[in-house]
Amino acid sequence: MPVVVMASGTGSLMAAVLDLAAADDSPFRVVGVVVDRDCAAADRAVEADLPVVLSELRDYPDRAAWDAALTAAVVELAPEWVVTAGFMKILGPAFLERFGGHIVNSHPALLPAFPGAHGVADALAYGVKITGTTVHLVDSGVDTGPILAQRIVEVLPDDSEETLHERIKEVERVLLPEVVHAVVTRGVVTDGRKAHIK
Ligand code: GRF
């Protein structure tokens, strides 16, 4: 089962998905990595001998043109599933039209709490005692798609955003590959805004 992974940062979460895909008995293989900027994730993908697509919004006249070009580039890779592992752009309507229902994202908070690009800092600032990570299907909203799995992470009194985010990432690096494995092998049923892995 071909999978494309999209990333924007260090690529540690992407690497966890690549590692599972590389296992001899893996039910899926990563056929390409898409990045929206020059980042360590791209370097890791090159080291793994994977095709890397760099699709920068600033290279296009507007978001619609970027959305269309990104969609065409991922269609070329012909994935069954797309995994956003720290991809920091909102996917556009053309991309969602083509891959909607088959895009899995990992968010470092217990949605619907603390969506968006600062979920860890927002949870810390709010003073919650537990937070965690959410794996969900991507829809047209910001971290609003049907939830597939969640895992909690305790907030420690002396946590900084960095220490808390790293502990959350440790959990993400286990949960996201597990969920990808499950959805590619068992599939997903959705009922309105709810989703369940078969
Ligand atoms: C992860 O916490 C992910 O949930 C968030 O960005 C982070 C990516 O981490 N969207 P890394 O760049 O793979 O280390």
**Which domains are assigned to the chain?**
2-188 (3.40.50.170)
Share of the chain above pLDDT 90, in %: 99
Question: Which single residue is written with the structure tokens 């990333």?
Answer: 7
pLDDT in tens, 133-171: 999 999 999 999 999 999 999 999 999 999 999 999 999
SS3 25: coil
pLDDT in tens, 36-85: 999 999 999 999 999 999 999 999 999 999 999 999 999 999 999 999 99
Confidence at residue 192, expressed as pLDDT on a 0 to 100 scale? 86
Dihedral angle of Cα 116, 34, 85, 177, to the nearest 10 degrees: 150
Specify the ligand 1 atom closest to the Cα of 117.
10
**Count of other CB atoms within 10 angstroms of residue 123:** 26
With beta carbons less than 8 A apart as the criterion, state whether 76 and 2 touch.
Answer: no
Verify whether ligand 1 is closer than 6 Å to residue 71 (CB atom).
Answer: no
136 labelled catalytic: no
> Atom of ligand 1 at shortest distance to CA of 10?
12
* 194 is known to lie in a ligand binding site: no
106 lines ligand 1 (CB under 6 A): yes
Q: Which of 102, 107, 136, 181 is catalytic?
A: 107
**Confidence (pTM):** 0.96
Band the pLDDT of 129: cuts 50, 70, 90. Answer: very high
CA of 7 to the centre of ligand 1 (A): 8
The b/e string for 148-169 (b: 16+ C-beta within 10 A; e otherwise) is bbbeebebeeebeeeebbebbb
